[in-house]
């Protein structure tokens, strides 16, 4: 698939991504930059006005999944998250939050991606890091064709 | 704080919880049941129509945090997530998704909660499990008073 | 393979298991009980005389791997750890440490096991919990035969 | 404490470190390089002759703990592991295995360290990565003195 198709998938076709407002800034094989613009609805701590940890975890999960997905050779293959770990280092401010995901392991059946999250105004301050392990699955149709 | 106050906090005062639609079904000290009713916006895989992993991770994070929070003796203390791990076992269907969070470690400065997620129609099929580690922090005002 | 063969593998054929002193108390499909008797060499904190976290993590990793391995239908298949998480809840005392591992997800290519660690003298006090994700791989010979 | 004292602690005073054979190559504040020379006893897979995952996890745990410990200002403070995650990327060969641990979060009560593990002959091939969360605790004596 082309980067344009991946961008459409990431921003428009996945309903929860659209609901949260994910923007796909750059999509390369195994290298993803996604961003969520700040909105009041994304706040998790009304006193400190910090971004909800769930926004960070969903962004990390999605960016990591695309880092694996874009590196697959079979166009019809799909990824699904096996496990995800997020380490929260700094509270997220009322600013856009950006995720940079990198493929770190690309096996036949399992892919692993690292994600670093930060505010674009302060790119060297890491807000959170994520690591996702993703199962790689061939489409039914593909599997059937191959087993003949 | 009373369970009623915690319920208000969980459902209304935390903007992202409200945006996703979290309902606090039961709140006991160290034992939390939260639920998110199904809505189209929560879908993560438009083909399989499965719930987005990010809905599951935000629900686990929040439920786990309340399991720690409700067990604190100091009313003014706050929790913030240090790290969160989610293991995805089954795809989430187009149904409400429920989280049961249990406190497993209650230290002075760190609390740990386990979370099990499932559909209420099939409570024994675990969709995902989560484990969150939370920092426990006293309010500024409290700390100041204590250091005198 | 029979439980006796798995016991031999766990205790004798894996050199580091033997070096640390793992004993396989019971081996059932997807359900493993391993134990490490206490020895001075296993101490991690010479002041508090607590067992080294590394003994706990290696025991959890191994027990979890066998919980997946014993549940595989293909005798020649092998497991290798993709990722492991250990949560330390209580310091390990100068006593035998026991691990109970349970299979929680058995896919075609990925298995997941939960492990609970405790002292046999106080079985309800959990010292640590572990969760391992394991890749399932067919032997070369098997793969070749299948691809014909 | 001086780097020499930390080296003594890491290599000699912690019994399980000594049993496995940890060598402290360099110890700087928040930056640790530890190594385990290869020995037959450390093998985990007798067929592939790969190093046991437990050697890797114990080395990561210990190196990460020292990365936090060396950064503490109070000499009498101690660290203990809250949770540890290891991602295994490549099998460990019959060679020395080296761990580079870096402090990534230094709070008052919690420290986090990242660890990268590799063979010195091929330093850019990451065998495993680890992340440890450590509780920071003051000595009893210290706490008592402070609460007066």
pLDDT (tens digit, 9 = 90+) per residue, C24-72?
Answer: 999 999 999 999 999 999 999 988 899 999 999 999 999 999 999 999 9
Res A75: pLDDT = 79
Res A140: pLDDT = 54
Res A143: pLDDT = 42
Stretch D59-73: mean pLDDT, rounded?
Answer: 96
Chain A residues with CB under 8 Å of a chain B CB are: 13-20, 40-46, 52-55, 57-59, 61-62, 80-88, 91
Residues D20-43: pLDDT tens digits?
999 999 999 999 999 999 999 999
A139 pLDDT band (50/70/90 cuts)? low
User: Which of B135, B143, B148 to mutate against chain D (most D CBs within 10 Å)?
Assistant: B135
Res D70: pLDDT = 95
Res D50: pLDDT = 94
Sheet (strand C126-137) strand order: C23-28, C31-36, C97-106, C110-118, C126-137, C78-88, D78-88, D126-137, D110-118, D97-106, D31-36, D23-28
Chain C residues with CB under 8 Å of a chain B CB are: 85, 87, 89, 104-105, 112, 126, 129, 131, 133
Percent of chain A predicted with pLDDT > 70: 93
D133 chain-A contacts, CB cut-off 8 A:
87
| Residue A57 CB neighbours (<10 A) | 30
**Which of A75-84, A114-123, B23-32, D61-70 is predicted least confidently?**
A75-84
Asked if A126's CB is within 8 angstroms of D87's CB, the reply is no
The Cα-based distances of C101 to C76, C77, D73, D147 in angstroms read: 22, 19, 40, 43
- Look up the ipTM and state it: 0.92
* A125, closest residue in chain D (CA to CA): D104
Asked if A85's CB is within 8 angstroms of D85's CB, the reply is yes
* C125, closest residue in chain B (CA to CA): B104
DSSP type of residue A54:
H
Asked if D61's CB is within 8 angstroms of C57's CB, the reply is yes
Extended beta strands in chain B, E state = 23-28, 31-36, 43-45, 50-51, 78-88, 97-106, 110-118, 126-137
D142 pLDDT band (50/70/90 cuts)? very low
Asked if B133's CB is within 8 angstroms of D82's CB, the reply is yes
* pLDDT in single tens digits along all 148 residues of chain B: 899 999 999 999 999 999 999 999 999 999 999 999 999 999 999 888 999 999 999 999 999 999 999 999 887 889 999 999 999 999 999 999 999 999 999 888 899 999 999 999 999 999 999 999 999 987 654 444 333 3
* A113, closest residue in chain D (CA to CA): D87
Over chain A, what is the mean pLDDT?
91
CB A5 within 8 A of CB A57: no
Stretch D76-104: mean pLDDT, rounded?
Answer: 95
Is the pLDDT at A79 greater than 90? The verdict is: yes
Res A22: pLDDT = 98
Residue with tokens 């780097």: D3
Chain A contact partners (≥3 CB pairs within 8 A): B, C, D
D112 pLDDT band (50/70/90 cuts)? very high
Chain D contact partners (≥3 CB pairs within 8 A): A, B, C
Is the pLDDT at D8 greater than 90? The verdict is: yes
Q: Find, among C20, C6, C3, C146, the residue nearest to C79 by Cα.
A: C6
Asked if C109's CB is within 8 angstroms of A133's CB, the reply is no
A112 chain-C contacts, CB cut-off 8 A:
82-83
Of B14, B44, B85, the CB nearest to A83: B85
Minimal CA separation from D101 to chain C, in Å = 16
Residues D41-63: pLDDT tens digits?
999 998 889 999 999 999 999 99
Is the pLDDT at A107 greater than 90? The verdict is: no
Tokens of C111: 């298995």
Is the pLDDT at A141 greater than 70? The verdict is: no
* A88, closest residue in chain D (CA to CA): D105
| H helix or E strand, kind and range, residue B143 | helix B140-147
B85 chain-C contacts, CB cut-off 8 A:
85, 131
Minimal CA separation from C40 to chain A, in Å = 34
Asked if C83's CB is within 8 angstroms of A107's CB, the reply is no
Is the pLDDT at C142 greater than 50? The verdict is: no
Q: Find, among C115, A39, C99, the residue nearest to B19 by Cα.
A: A39
Is the pLDDT at A148 greater than 80? The verdict is: no
Minimal CA separation from C89 to chain B, in Å = 7
Is the pLDDT at A117 greater than 60? The verdict is: yes
* A131, closest residue in chain D (CA to CA): D87
Chain A residues with CB under 8 Å of a chain D CB are: 85, 87, 89, 104-105, 112, 126, 129, 131, 133
Give the C-alpha separation, C2 to B147, whole Å: 63
DSSP type of residue B91:
-
User: Which of C10, C12, C13, C16 to mutate against chain D (most D CBs within 10 Å)?
Assistant: C16
């Amino acid at each position: 698939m082309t980067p344009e198709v991946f961008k459409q998938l990431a921003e428009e076709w996945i309903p929860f991504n659209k609901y949260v407002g994910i923007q796909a800034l750059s999509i390369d094989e195994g290298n993803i930059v996604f961003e969520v613009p700040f909105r009041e609805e994304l706040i998790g701590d009304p006193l400190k006005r910090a971004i909800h940890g769930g926004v960070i975890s969903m962004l990390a999960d999605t960016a990591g999944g695309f880092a694996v997905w874009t590196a697959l050779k079979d166009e019809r293959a799909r990824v699904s998250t096996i496990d995800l770990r997020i380490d929260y280092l700094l509270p997220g401010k009322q600013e856009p939050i950006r995720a940079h995901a990198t493929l770190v392991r690309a096996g036949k059946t399992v892919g692993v991606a690292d994600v670093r999250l930060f505010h674009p105004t302060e790119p060297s301050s890491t807000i959170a890091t994520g690591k996702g392990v993703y199962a790689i699955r061939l489409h039914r149709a593909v599997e059937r064709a191959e087993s003949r």
